[in-house]
Amino acid sequence: MESLIGTTIDQVPANPAPTDDVLATQSIGYWSGLAHASVTRYLRDAMARNDVTQPQYWVLNRVNGGPAAPSREEVVAQLTHLADGPHEISRVVDQLLHRGWLRIDDGQRLHLTDAGEAARARLRELATEVRAVVHQSINDEEYVAALKVLRRMVANVGGDGAPGNPF
């Protein structure tokens, strides 16, 4: 296939079964947006069936994931860029405290309770199952190649290269 980079072309409407030549003219914004929305919806629906939200899973992982127990402020600062609003992560911490999945020590540090760790482990299994569905018929080489292309596109437009979504 001849490279179309730098060639002026008409945008072709998205087509679910295009030839490679047609696919090369389609918008990355459309396909990356559709992939993000579809995968996020699938994951969040799976989590909702387990009475949990994706931000709750992020918080459980963050509280579990460091060398030292984090404060509420540290968790909020580290996860707010992923959230739907500036107050969501703080609310999630409150939800998890109320649910008994988190506790606060005398130094105002957050810790998982036994129930919180059990929930985190269950959700990790669920995330692994969702990943298997999303990656069905896609080998690791194809997946890595796709991510490298997306990372290059982000860099090409001055993206900040922030760390990936913790799921």
Read off the pLDDT of residues 46-98 as tens digits, 9 standing for 90 and up. Answer: 999 999 999 999 999 999 977 899 999 999 999 999 998 999 999 999 999 99
Spatial distance between the Cα atoms of 61 and 159, rounded to a whole number of angstroms: 26
Cα dihedral sign for 99, 64, 120, 72?
positive
First to last CA, the chain: 36
Q: Give tens-digit pLDDT for 149-162.
A: 999 999 999 987 65
Tokens (6 digits) for 53: 């939200």
Residue with tokens 């018929």, as numbered in its chain: 137
Count CB atoms within 10 A of the CB of residue 79. 20
Query: Which pTM was predicted?
Result: 0.77
